[in-house]
Amino acid sequence: MRPAKVVACILSVLGVCGMAQRVSAQTPAHEPARGKRIVIAASTALDGKGGVLRDARIVVEGSKIVAVETRVETKVDKGAGPVDYDLRGLTVLPGWTDAHAHITWNFGKDGKNAGMGGTSQEDAYQSASNAWVTLMAGFTTVQSPGAANDIPLRDAIAKGKLAGPRILTAVEPLFGQGEKTGTPEEIRAFIRKQKQAGADVIKIFASQSIRQGGGMTLSQEQLNAACDEAKKQRLRTLVHAYKDAVRAATLAGCTEIEHGTLATDEDLKLMAEKGVYLDPQAGLIIENYLLHKEQYLGTPGYTEEGFAAMEKILPMNHELVQHAVKTPGLKIVFGTDAVAGAHGRNAEEFIDRMRDGGVEPMAAMVSANSLGAEALGMADQIGTIAPGLQADIIALDGDPAKDITAVRRVVFVMKGGVVYKNVSRGRSRFMRECSPELFVFRSRHPPSFLASFDFTESEMLPQNSGEDCVGGACWGLHSRDCR
């Protein structure tokens, strides 16, 4: 049995479901109430495009927003009904997108980096947990470029078997190996194979890791073939590129550049002219590696020399973002490259981009809302609080325009019309110092894998909550990670 099928089988019987804290008052977590209106009151709502709505009522039916009303409007829908979720005093905005997160990347039983290829029950549990904590952090859609194991997780979430963000995946990346990669025709065949395997996007490695110098690994002709064939297959392309590979991928008509370190100002201007998106990383990925150095060191691709290089690369990444924000017309999207250790902490990248990259707070939000949705080819579905779009709505305790650390305090999460998180105001005050999350598992016994989580303080809590736990008690891990 192929690894992806093994994981699919595990996920199908996993019984792990991050249930909404108030979903029992509506419907099961995977199915929005049909015909029932949900009204959300917001004193401040960011529309996802850079606008601010005051004293708004957001009306949801099923999985979609059907109306957005403000006090100053004359055409008010009188049938909106009473308020179901009063989010006044918070900052409401569309659920975030992460254009680059390896959601099935885990640590193994030994605590060391296990990558994305695991097929054990523990790996499936960990991947399901990664999806849950990412959703709880406010990310309702993620792009996970490059693992066959993404497919069963993507499909399980889409079918409502697991709670997590929508996932777009590249399945198997095209790894540049010079001539060994293949002829242009062979590369085209590889792209078509990924389409048949269910890929949502094509991931291309046109450079070595920056830890190894970031040299080009594909020729211009090879890149041209890959990105051209992807367009023919109606697939977008994400290109892992540094230095010269940035210009080469731009000239090849690829959709998005990942990382982009050591790109020149001329490269950035060319990207803007061609409409190519840039997804730089200002800090989280390297900070995470350094934080978890002992867990990565000695695993494939991670050496002492590589870690020494990372410390030198971090300020280069800051410099890239600083130059990118000054490039007129350049479309900068939000992506974290989250791997093991970073899941659920994706929003730290917002703080890095503002503090070290000079990104304005509203631009940071837009990069993970409407602009991020546009880059994913989903602008007609997500990224904006507007009628007809998916009801992906989150709320922050605080105003990110005044205090960017508010992104750490996500107190409300709705995805597709279903509420997965609704923290009380009292608990919200606690979140200013600590970031509590509740993982809920539908099971008669607490899953043994929970013991492997390393929290500053944790406690196992039986969660007997009626229909959410049919067939036995639900068990939760209430974590408090105070930093």
Higher pLDDT, 436 or 2: 2
Q: Which amino acid is at 230?
A: A
| 448 occurs within a structural domain | no
| 299 occurs within a structural domain | yes
| 428 occurs within a structural domain | no
- Helix or strand (DSSP H, E) at 188: helix 184-196
Across the strands, what pairs with 442? 474
pLDDT at 241 over 70: yes
Distance CA 3, CA 127 (A): 14
Q: Which tokens go with 133?
A: 């904590």
| 451 occurs within a structural domain | no
| 473 occurs within a structural domain | no
| 190 occurs within a structural domain | yes
163-190 pLDDT per residue, tens: 999 999 999 999 999 999 999 999 999 9
CATH code, 103 = 3.20.20.140
Indicate the SS3 state at residue 129.
Answer: helix
Quickly list DSSP for 97-155: EESSB-TT-EE-TTSSEEET---SHHHHHHHHHHHHHHHHTTEEEEEE-S-TTHHHHHH
Average pLDDT for residues 326-335, to the nearest whole number? Answer: 98
Backbone dihedral angles phi then psi of residue 199, each to the nearest 5 degrees:
-65, 140
Sign of CA dihedral 94, 100, 104, 108: negative
Distance CA 425, CA 97 (A): 26
Token pair 């730089």: residue:
280
Please tell me whether the overall predicted TM-score, pTM, comes out greater than 0.75 for this model. yes
Q: Calculate the alpha carbon distances from 437 to 125, 396, 450, 479 in Å.
A: 17, 15, 14, 6
407-460 pLDDT per residue, tens: 999 999 999 999 999 995 544 444 444 443 333 333 333 333 333 333 333 333
| 110 occurs within a structural domain | yes
104-141 pLDDT per residue, tens: 999 998 999 999 877 788 888 999 999 999 999 999 99
User: For residues 475 and 462, is the Cβ–Cβ distance under 8 A?
Assistant: yes
User: For residues 135 and 97, is the Cβ–Cβ distance under 8 A?
Assistant: no
- Helix or strand (DSSP H, E) at 11: helix 3-14
Backbone dihedral angles phi then psi of residue 123, each to the nearest 5 degrees:
-60, -40
Q: Calculate the alpha carbon distances from 99 to 39, 103, 167, 257 in Å.
A: 29, 11, 10, 11
Token pair 């602009």: residue:
371
Q: Which tokens go with 49?
A: 């495009």
In the chain, the percentage of residues whose pLDDT exceeds 90 is 72
Task: Count structural domains, the chain.
Answer: 1
| 279 occurs within a structural domain | yes
pLDDT at 4: 52
Please tell me what DSSP assigns to residue 256.
Answer: E
CB atoms within 10 A of CB 31: 15
Average pLDDT for residues 243-271, to the nearest whole number? Answer: 97
- Domain of residue 125 covers 96-370
- Tell how far CA 174 is from the center of its chain: 22
